[in-house]
Amino acid sequence: MPIKLSDHFTYSKLLRFTLPSIATMIFTSIYSVVDGLFVSNLVGENALSAVNIVFPVSMILAAFGFMLGSGGSAIVARTMGEGKPDLANRYFTMIILCVLGLGTVLSAGGALFIEPIAKLAGASDLLMEDCIAYGRVLLAGTVPFMLQMSFQVFFVTAELPKMGLVFSLASGVTNIVMDYVLIAVLDMGIAGAAWGTMLSYVAGGVLPLMFFLRPPMGKLRLCPTRFYPRELKNACANGSSELMSNLSSSLIGIVYNLQLMHLIGESGVAAYSVMMYVDFAFAAVFLGFSMGVGPVIGFHFGADNREELKNLLCKCLTVISICSVSMVALSELLARPLAAAFVGYSPNLLSMTVHGFRIFALSYLFVGFGIFGSGLFTDLCNGFVSALISFLRTFLFRGGMVLLLPLLLDLDGIWLAVVAADGLGAAVALALIWNYRRRYHYL
């Protein structure tokens, strides 16, 4: 029996409803992981460093799509909870049209100015050629990437999380197959990795666009609409935390690269690249869970169902606590085999990566609470608090720690910076959830 946003959620129903979103985010993270595996083993260490320098830039541009999708989805879910399905569809359509327009501008600008962008992101002369070859193609694919980021959230709002997973699987398979063909068979090098990723964006972003143009299977469809400036403004404000989180993570990633280039050079960036690839997959569990439960929270907020809000918050915090402990144990156990898959050809680089990742992985005790806390306030249409949590966790705390701790602990300070920052971020998120309990009646 299909699960509806209006249902009462047990642990079983909550996990079944959010599991497709978790899987979707994990498969989405496979893009960069697959690129890393192919590039590192078939092209080389410097190419791997180039990918890690350019990819945060791509995420900065795509963050605007996630902002509109997350912020818009909360408004659409709330409107559905208020019993206005036709208006919800018009809001949904307007937001997707805005993603298309903004994405076109960002795609053109990113591809045109890739060289100065790569320099700002920390590319050395040794890495510049690979950065340009990879970045020009990747940034040109910003439109479908932004669409994909938006549709991942809207599939859940439409009560079709499994369909979102299908498109994510199609996108992931496209990336794996095309990376193999373009890099291993056609020997296109790092440019082949970029084309493989871009084609996967088309599968994950353009095909869902065609799906929502068809007669609806779920609660949402694309339809004639008009411009709703107030709702667009609210969507941007409400999704500002997701924008802040993605922008901050990408910018801080660039700061990490600059610090590593200063301390030990290209090999440090390569080691950090491996940690980021693994982190994409592990953090995707928390991101997918938050994305999956978000429309449910938004719906019951719109319906003023306080008892179900209390039920959801209690169960969500319990699930995140169990996942946090399990993820740390798993990452510590798998540190060496995961690192060996990327850089097993270099014993020194492998040793550095394993040591760093075992420190870095302690952050999984805390990161889920920060992600969920920010997402919760987005779902409650409180963009300010949501953005505050994201800004503190992903920018101020991480940025401050990566500049401070290396002065005290040298290279280990870089790996420990994320642990300290996410610990502070979790404390802030939980404190704000407690502080706003009387306003939203979820405790």
pTM above 0.75, yes or no: no
Q: Where residue 269 falls among pLDDT bands split at 50, 70, 90?
A: confident
Residue 5 domain-assigned (yes or no): no
| pLDDT, position 372 | 94
* Total domains in the fold of the chain: 1
pLDDT tens string 327-367: 999 988 988 888 888 777 778 888 888 888 899 899 999 99
Is position 231 within any domain?
A: yes
Is 37 within the bounds of a domain? yes
- Of all residues in the chain, the percent with pLDDT exceeding 90 is 20
In a domain, 2, yes or no: no
Supply the pLDDT for residue 241: 67
Q: Average pLDDT for residues 385-404, to the nearest whole number?
A: 87
- Report pLDDT digits (tens) over 308-317: 999 999 999 9
Rounded mean pLDDT, 116-136: 82
Locate 4 and state its tokens.
């509806």
Q: Is 4 among the domain residues?
A: no
Domain-located, residue 3: no
Residue 255 lies in a domain: yes
What is the distance between the alpha carbons of residues 10 and 37, in angstroms, rounded to a whole number? 39
Q: What is the pLDDT of residue 172?
A: 82
40-78 pLDDT tens trace: 778 877 777 788 788 778 877 877 887 888 788 888 888
Pick the range with the lowest mean pLDDT from 127-131, 168-172, 249-253, 417-421: 249-253
Residue 251 belongs to what domain range? 11-440
Phi, psi of 79 (to 5 degrees): -65, -40
Q: Does residue 349 lie in a domain region?
A: yes
Say if CB 144 and CB 201 are below 8 A apart. yes
